[in-house]
Amino acid sequence: MNSNPVLAELARNGWVENRHRGAFCIYDDKGNIIAATGDIERAIFPRSAIKSMQALALFSSGAVEKFGLNETDIAIAVASHHGETEHIAAVSSLLKKIGSTENDLQCGAHVPTNRKARNQLFSTGAKPGAIHNNCSGKHAGMLAVAKALGVSSDDYWLLDHPVQKLVKTSIEEVLGEKLSSNHCGTDGCSIPTFAAPLKSFGIGFARMATGKGFDDLTKGSIKTIFDAASNHPFLIGGTGVFDSEVMQVFEGNLVCKIGAEGVFCGAIRNLGLGFALKCDDGNMLAAEIMIAAILLKYASPDAVQRDFLLKRSEKTLQNWRGLEVATMRSVVSALGN
Dihedral Cα 19, 21, 25, 26, nearest 10 deg: -10
Closer residue to a copy of itself (CB): 62 or 129: 129
Least distance (Å) between residue 162 CB and a copy of itself: 21
Least distance (Å) between residue 148 CB and a copy of itself: 24
Closer residue to a copy of itself (CB): 122 or 307: 122
Closer residue to a copy of itself (CB): 106 or 224: 106
C-beta of residue 20 within 8 angstroms of C-beta of residue 6: yes
Q: By the criterion CB under 8 A, which residues form the site for a copy of itself?
A: 3, 10, 12-13, 15, 17-21, 43-45, 106-110, 133, 182-190, 193, 195, 261-262, 280-283, 286, 319-323, 325-326
Closer residue to a copy of itself (CB): 304 or 332: 332
Least distance (Å) between residue 75 CB and a copy of itself: 22
Closer residue to a copy of itself (CB): 319 or 337: 319
Dihedral Cα 122, 124, 126, 128, nearest 10 deg: -40
124-129: long-range pairs with CB below 8 Å, 24+: 128/83, 129/102
Least distance (Å) between residue 20 CB and a copy of itself: 5
Residue 326: enclosing H or E segment and its boundaries?
Answer: strand 324-330
Dihedral Cα 42, 226, 246, 144, nearest 10 deg: -90
Least distance (Å) between residue 337 CB and a copy of itself: 20
* Closest of 4, 13, 14, 24 to residue 265, by C-alpha: 24
Least distance (Å) between residue 187 CB and a copy of itself: 7
* Closest of 222, 244, 241, 254 to residue 74, by C-alpha: 222
Closer residue to a copy of itself (CB): 44 or 74: 44
CA distance linking residue 22 with residue 124, whole number of Å: 42
* Closest of 296, 293, 284, 274 to residue 331, by C-alpha: 293
Residue type, 19: R
Closer residue to a copy of itself (CB): 6 or 246: 6
CA distances from 212 to 53, 55, 136, 219, 298 (A): 15, 18, 31, 8, 21
Least distance (Å) between residue 152 CB and a copy of itself: 18
